[in-house]
Amino acid sequence: MSARSEAAVAREAGDVVPRASAGERAHCRRLSRRAHEVARRVLADPDNVTPSSEAARLNRAGELSPADHLAVMYGKSAGGRPWSPQSLKNILLSEATLGYLMHRNKPVLGRDGNPVKLCEGLWDRATHEALKKAVLDRKVPWTRHSNRDYLLTYVALCGQCHTRLYTQTSQDAPPRYTCTARNKGWRHAQHCRPAPLINAHLLDSYVEEWFLRELGDGLIYETVYDPGNGIPERIAEQ
């Protein structure tokens, strides 16, 4: 049976027959090689090699991120979007790397009840389970980015690389603003040394003092609801 006949039979049976151009296959192979390399490095040294460190390494090397790969694959220019640790972690943990057709992060089951396999996987099930153990079982230090909104959240920028500052908290130090762009491997921040690190309350106080000195106190208006005396409502009920 010819390839065209096989495709026609598959379509009549309701099966999807994905096709990719030569350019798409080339970009997919390159991205697959990057993922395979990252997986190998993580499994070799799970205590020191993490999705965060690998994302920074790929950014420093100038490797196209998945979003830029997709853009180039469809004839658009790369936007310079960096690799993020979370997207790299999602790639390593996804069963799509086993070659399965995915929907809502789960393999699609065929009519026989087994996962639909589109292609040869990047690695086998044993490697997939080893990656899950290496990535998910790793103990994360307590120091982390804070999700709490501080006075200058989304406002303060690094004076060196002009990247937005983030807030960090830890058990033994007060909240502070810091620039993490160079640690993430962002190319425009490779010369951001020393990266700023300042206590949040100090910078907040300085900016508040400057704001009030330059602009003065402002009027604050508030809209409130006045229920009235209730007489119209009582009349309407009669």
One-character DSSP codes across 12-39 = HTT-------HHHHHHHHHHHHHHHHHH
Q: Assess whether pLDDT exceeds 60 at residue 3.
A: no
Tell me which residue range forms the domain holding 156: 144-215
The DSSP letter of residue 160 is: T
User: Do the beta carbons of residue 92 and residue 121 sit within 8 Å?
Assistant: no
pLDDT band at 93 (very low <50, low <70, confident <90, very high): very high
Residue 22 lies in a domain: yes
One domain, residues 40 and 126: yes
Which of 80-94, 140-154, 201-215 has the least mean pLDDT?
Answer: 140-154
Q: What is the DSSP secondary structure assignment for residue 227, as one 8-state letter?
A: -
**Number of compact structural domains in the chain:** 2
233 in a domain, yes or no?
Answer: no
CA distance 164 to 156: 6
Mean pLDDT of the chain: 79
Q: Which of 11-20, 60-69, 150-159, 206-215 has the lowest mean pLDDT?
A: 11-20
> pLDDT at position 139, please?
66
102, pLDDT greater than 50: yes
Residues with Cβ within 8 Å of 207's Cβ and at least 6 positions away in sequence, in order, are: 151, 152
Answer whether residue 4 shows pLDDT above 70: no
Average pLDDT over residues 100-105: 88
Considering the domain boundaries, does residue 199 fall inside one? yes
If pLDDT is split at 50, 70 and 90, which confidence band does 89 have?
A: very high
User: Quick one: 122 and 12 in the same domain?
Assistant: yes
Expressed in angstroms, the distance from the first to the final Cα of the chain is 84
CA 116 to chain centre: 27
- Sheet with 166-170, strands from edge to edge, namely 144-145, 166-170, 173-178, 197-199
Helix H or strand E encompassing 69: helix 66-73
Least confident of 11-15, 41-45, 186-190: 11-15
The whole-angstrom separation of Cα 161 and Cα 113 is 53
- Whether the bond between 194 and the residue before it is cis, its omega within 30 degrees of 0, is yes
Tens of pLDDT, residue by residue over 25-51, are 554 667 788 888 999 999 998 888 889
Last residue of a domain, one of 118, 136, 154: 136
Q: 152 and 206 in contact (C-beta within 8 Å)? A: no
Give residue-wise pLDDT tens across range 117-131: 888 888 899 999 999
Q: Does 224 map to a domain?
A: no
Query: Between these two residues, 181 and 145, which has the higher pLDDT value?
Result: 181
The phi, psi pair for 197, rounded to 5°, reads -150, 110
Boundary of a domain, candidates 87, 104, 136: 136
**Mean pLDDT to the nearest integer, 102-123:** 88
Residue 234 lies in a domain: no
Residue 2 pLDDT > 70, yes or no? Answer: no
The full DSSP string for 84-128 is -HHHHHHHHH-GGGGTB-EETTEEPB-TTSSBPB-S--SS-HHHH
201 shares a domain with 87: no
> Is residue 227 domain-resident?
no
**Does the structure show a pLDDT above 70 at 148?**
no
* Percentage, residues of the chain above pLDDT 70: 79
Q: Are residues 114 and 158 in the same domain?
A: no
Residue 149 pLDDT: 65
d(CA 202, CA 206): 6
pLDDT score of 20: 44
Residue 157 has pLDDT above 70, yes or no: yes
Please tell me whether residues 107 and 176 are part of one structural domain. Answer: no
